[in-house]
Amino acid sequence: MLELLTGTGLATAAGLNAYIPLMVIGLLDRYTNLINLPSAWSWLGNGWVLMILAVLLAIEFVADKVPVVDSVNDVVQTVVRPTAGGMAFAAGSGSETVTVTDPSALWTQKLWIPIAIGLLIALTVHGTKAAARPVMNAASFGVAAPVVSTVEDGASIGLAVVAIVMPFLVIIFVFVFFWWMLTVSRRRRRRREQRALSENAQRPTGVAKRL
């Protein structure tokens, strides 16, 4: 159960930012005893890999905070974030951590299963993020982009660390995320309905002017 929560937390974090959970896993494996990666994923703790992830994270950090550019970036990340989510889920759920000393063999023997689960989780989170960002930018005239992006980065870091150190807290985050997703969905639906009503109300006036 704890392995599943660890993987879920890391995949969710990847849905917000592809590179943060991979860097957290690699750094903690390289410099601490909080996580010991299985042999299949030990390369995440390699110094060169961490440097490459740091460069990609820097690019993502800037691009995601500029209105319009953030939406273009989300399109590009449609492939990257789910892929990172699959990797993070598989690496995290198959590792020995401070809370999991004997991870399930399922996560290491049948590697495609955790990768597929992580991919779907990250894709869901990414899809929600990508759909919500244009709405927030339009409502705030672009002011929300850097603020929301910073909050997402912070949430990704916090969730990645919590998933390894205190995975049971992932349940709370997932609940809050789906509540937020439902709220955003309702707001989008309301805006579409209001726009449709407004367009319908203006049609008779337009017809009358033509006549």
186 versus 33: the higher-pLDDT residue is 33
Distance between CA atoms of residues 198 and 119, nearest Å: 40
21 versus 67: the higher-pLDDT residue is 21
Read off the pLDDT band of 82 (50, 70, 90): very high
Number of domains in the chain: 1
Q: What would the mean pLDDT of 168-197 be, rounded to a whole number?
A: 74
Residue 110 pLDDT greater than 70, yes or no: yes
Q: Which helix (H) or strand (E) holds 160?
A: helix 144-165
Specify the pLDDT at position 26.
95
**HSE-up of residue 105 (Cα within 13 Å, Cβ side):** 1
- Listed in order, strand segments (DSSP E) in 77-117 are 96-97
Tokens 């982009």 belong to residue? 145
Distance between CA atoms of residues 89 and 204, nearest Å: 55
* pLDDT, mean over the chain: 83
Domain that holds residue 13: 2-210
